[in-house]
């Protein structure tokens, strides 16, 4: 009887867990792309970072700061602030993994913990064809703040990756 009721009234699908998963192809070697994630001048140029302490080695810190915005989001407050995590794994020419990632907004409580992974893979057989840069960010607790965070960073990462592409391909 219960099985018959369940067959007639299937459970609605669960809402997808928010996160970030996007890629871009950049006409440059992976080593050059990865440098741009760790060098202060490059981070400033493509991501608008004001300050950074990023050490490309296992257990190195990864802390970047953006100036607070004049704009105030209704849910998150001002944007900008600090994103910080720990480099858990790094492979030259392949990518890196950050754990214990938190966003510390200029106003309000931190959002985290999260994980951030950046992988670089060659496009095609010819290494000169470019690099596919794949960014995945995970971590979530059910709340309006977390949902809004992922809505906003999705647009931010789209712009940032296009800016990275422009910078590295020059």
pLDDT in 10s for each residue of the chain, 170 residues: 444 444 444 544 445 778 899 999 999 999 999 999 999 999 999 999 999 999 999 999 999 999 999 999 999 999 999 999 999 999 988 999 999 999 999 998 999 999 999 999 998 776 567 999 999 999 988 899 999 999 999 999 999 999 999 999 98
pTM: 0.86
Which residue from 163, 84, 95 is spatially nearest to 134, judged by alpha carbons? 95
Residue 62 within a domain: yes
Residue 67 within a domain: yes
Q: What is the CATH number of the domain that holds 159?
A: 3.30.530.20
Number of domains comprising the chain? 1
Residue 135, domain extent: 19-169
- With the CA atoms of 17, 161, 61 and 81 taken in that order, what torsion angle do they form, in degrees rounded to the nearest 10? -80
Residue 120 within a domain: yes
Residue 7 within a domain: no
Residue 42 within a domain: yes
C-beta of residue 138 within 8 angstroms of C-beta of residue 114: yes
3-state secondary structure of 103: strand
Residue 130 within a domain: yes
């Amino acid at each position: 009887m219960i099985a018959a009721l369940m067959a007639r009234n299937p459970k609605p699908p669960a809402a997808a867990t928010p996160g970030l998963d996007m890629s871009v192809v950049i006409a440059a070697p992976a080593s050059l792309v990865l440098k741009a994630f760790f060098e202060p001048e490059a981070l400033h140029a493509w991501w608008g970072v004001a300050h950074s302490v990023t050490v490309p080695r296992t257990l190195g810190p990864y802390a970047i700061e953006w100036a607070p915005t004049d704009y105030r989001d209704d849910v998150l407050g001002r944007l900008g602030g600090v994103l910080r995590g720990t480099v858990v794994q790094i492979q030259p020419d392949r990518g890196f993994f950050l754990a214990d990632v938190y966003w510390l907004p200029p106003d309000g409580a931190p959002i985290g913990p999260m994980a951030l992974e950046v992988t670089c893979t060659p496009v095609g057989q010819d290494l000169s064809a470019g690099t596919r840069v794949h960014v995945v960010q995970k971590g979530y607790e059910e709340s309006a703040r977390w949902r809004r965070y992922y809505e906003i960073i999705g647009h931010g990462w789209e712009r940032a990756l296009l800016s990275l592409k422009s910078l590295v391909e020059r």
